Amino acid sequence: MEPHFPVEINHIRQKGVVRITWHDGHIGEYPREYLRGYCPCAMCQGHEGGVKFVDVPDAGLAEITPVGNYAIQFRWDDGHSTGIYTFDYLRSLCPCPLCSGWKSESETR
């Protein structure tokens, strides 16, 4: 399978979403609390393996930084910035109805 990479990443502040346009034309809109809840860092996820949604207080998204050519990093208003979101990971989180990434979140609610 071809690796996924984004051609455009837009933080739409007034909607509180990050819109990612993928190389194959697919577009996903990721609510920031969703991205934050799936922060893949060890501090948020522990070391049990498998990624789960972690309910954290909503914080604004301060900055999006590219990491090499394989990932991006989010810095949140509360200073948290240790999560490295690889493109494959982000694509697997895509919350659009086609990808139904919401499923795993609604299970935790």
Residues that bind Zn ion (CB under 5 A): 28, 39, 41, 44, 83, 94, 96, 98-99
Provide the residue type at 20 as one letter.
I
Q: Which one, 64 or 99, has the nearer CB to Zn ion?
A: 99
Q: Which one, 27 or 70, has the nearer CB to Zn ion?
A: 27
d(CA 48, CA 30): 25
The least distance separating Zn ion from the CB of residue 83, rounded to whole angstroms, comes to 4
Q: Which one, 12 or 41, has the nearer CB to Zn ion?
A: 41
Q: Which one, 11 or 26, has the nearer CB to Zn ion?
A: 26
* CB proximity list for 66: less than 8 A, separation 6 or greater: 72, 73
Q: Which two tokens stand for residue 57?
A: 């207080």
* CB proximity list for 15: less than 8 A, separation 6 or greater: 29
The least distance separating Zn ion from the CB of residue 80, rounded to whole angstroms, comes to 6
* CB proximity list for 24: less than 8 A, separation 6 or greater: 2, 4
The least distance separating Zn ion from the CB of residue 14, rounded to whole angstroms, comes to 22
The least distance separating Zn ion from the CB of residue 11, rounded to whole angstroms, comes to 18
